[in-house]
Structure 1
C-alpha cells in the first residue's frame, strides 16, 4: 500500500492507517463491520491487521475526520437552479428565441431561430431529461410539467443523447454544457411513446410551422401536453 500526495498546497504524503471491512448478504446490504489497523510491514508492503467489531465511536471519528478534510466547497447557486442532490441537478430555462437544427427525411436539413417555452432540465447520473412549462416565471413545486415538444425525446422527458456532446460531470458549473448539448444537436426523429405535442396532423406539421415562422416569437402553449405530474414530485424522485 503506497502513500500518495494530497496536493501542492499541502505537501504531505498520506498512508493507510486503518481499514473498515463491511460484510453483506445476497442483498448487498451491509450487516456487519470490522475495523482493522494497518501493519507497516517490511519494504513498504503493508497489510491489514486483525479486526474488531466496528462501533459507533469508530464510525463517528471516521466521518468527522473526513468531513473536516474533504468537505466540498460551497458554490453560488444561480436563480435558475431548482434543486441539487448527490446525483442530479435540476434547473429552469427561461422561455425565449433559440436556434434549432433538423436533419430528418420528412423535414430535411433545416435550421431556424424559433420560440421555446419555459423548460425544466434535469441532468442526473441515470440520464438527461427535459420538461415544458406553461408559466413563464420561475416554477414552484406545484408547477405542472408538460411533455417536451421536441424530437429525440422518450417518455417522461428522457432525452436521446445520441452523438450530442454533453458534460461528463453532473453539477451546477456544467449546466451551460448540458443546455448546449441539447439545443445545438440536430433533431432527427420523434421517438416512440406518448403524444409529445397537440397539433393538427402531428409533430412533423408542428415543426414545419415552427421553422416557417408561423407562430412569430410566441410559443403556442396550447400545443403543450400535460404530464399530470408536478415539479415537486420530480425533484422528490417520485414515479409518475
Structure 2
C-alpha cells in the first residue's frame, strides 16, 4: 500500500487513490498530462498505477481545489509553551523544574532520582528529535541563545538518540506530552560522541553523579551549561548548524 501520515492537522493515515503523470520536452516545459487510478491490493502486494486518460481542465481545477481546501490549516488553541508550528516540525518550551531521570550505564549503574532541570526547548521534526537548554527561566524569544543539552543520549546540534524510547508517530501539538515522556522516561545510557555537553571540571559522569546524589536539590547549576552558536530563531528557520 502507498500510504502517508500527513502530520499536524490530519488525524489518520491516507492512501493513494490516483496519480498524475506529466510529460515534458527535453528542452523543458510540461506539454501533456495524464491521470491514472491507483489500486491498493489487500494482500500486501505493491500498489499499481492503472491506465491513464488525458487530464482535462475541469478535472485539474477540481483536484487543485480539493488540495487547497484540505491543506488549509485548521485553527487550534496554542498553549503558552508552543514556540513554533510548521508542516514538518513543532517547537516548544519546557519550564525549568524538578523531573525524574533514569540512568543505566556502567559508570553510574542503574539509578533514578528527581533532579532539577533548566528551561528546555524541544524540537520534533520529520528529520529528527532534538533538545536544547536555556540560561534564562522565562519563555524564550527568537534571540535566545541555545545551550548544549546537558544529557546523555544526545548528539551534536541537540539531536536525541531515540533508541528504544517510545515516541509518538505524529508531529503535532497534541503529541507534545508524548514526545516529552519518550525523552524523560527512557534511561540515559551513555554520552554520545561529539562535543562537550556540560562544562564540569571532572566531566559528564561526575556531573550526573552529583546531580543524582542530590548536590543540587533545588535549581539546576547553569554555570555548567555550554552556549551554542545558535539561537531559537536559527532552530525555527532550519538554520541550526549552518
TM-score by length of 1: 0.80
Matched position secondary structure for 1:187: coil
For 1:203 and 1:171, the matched residues in 2 are separated by: 33
Gap change, CA 1:61 and 1:107, over 3 Å in 2: same
The question of whether the paired residues in 2 share the 8 Å contact of 1:104 and 1:188 is answered with: yes
CA RMSD of aligned residues (A): 2.7
Which residue number in structure 2 is paired with residue 121 of structure 1?
122
Partner of 1:12: none
Deviation at 1:148, TM superposition (A): 0.2
Match of 2:30 among 25, 29, 32: 32
- Structure 2: give runs of 5+ residues left out of the alignment: 1-16, 38-49
Offset of residue 37 of structure 1: 6.5
CA contact (8 A) 2:151 2:191 kept: yes
Q: Give CA-to-partner distance per residue, 1:188-223, whole Å, 9 cap, x none.
A: 000110010001210000000000110121100010
Does the CA-based 8 Å contact 2:230-2:240 persist in structure 1? no
SS of the residue 1:76 aligns to: coil
Count of aligned positions: 212
CA shift at 1:60, angstroms?
A: 5.5
Following TM superposition, the consecutive aligned residue runs of length 4 or more in structure 1 with deviations greater than 6 angstroms are none
1:48 corresponds to: 52
Structure 2 counterparts to residues 214-229 of structure 1, below 5 A: 214-229=215-230
After superposition, the Cα gap between the structure-2 partners of 1:24 and 1:107, relative to the gap in structure 1 and judged at 3 Å, is farther
Separation in structure 2 between the aligned mates of residue 186 and residue 142 of structure 1, nearest angstrom: 32
**What TM-score results when the alignment is normalised by the length of structure 2?**
0.79
User: Could you tell me whether the CA contact under 8 Å between 2:20 and 2:36 is conserved in 1?
Assistant: no
Counterparts in 2 of 1:1-240, with a 5 A limit? 20-23=20-23, 32=30, 34-36=32-34, 47-51=51-55, 61-68=62-69, 71-240=72-241
Q: 1:23 to 1:131 in 2, by over 3 A?
A: farther
- List gaps (5 residues or longer) in structure 1: 1-15, 40-45
Shift of 1:76: 1.4
User: How has the CA–CA distance of structure 1 residues 227 and 31 changed in structure 2, closer, same or farther, with 3 Å as cutoff?
Assistant: farther
* DSSP-derived class of the 1:194 partner: coil
Deviation at 1:119, TM superposition (A): 0.2
- Measured against aligned partners, the alpha-carbon deviations of 1:51-90 in whole angstroms (never above 9, x if no partner) come to 57xx8x9766532233335645322111111111111110
Please state whether the residue corresponding to 2:139 is helix, strand or coil: coil
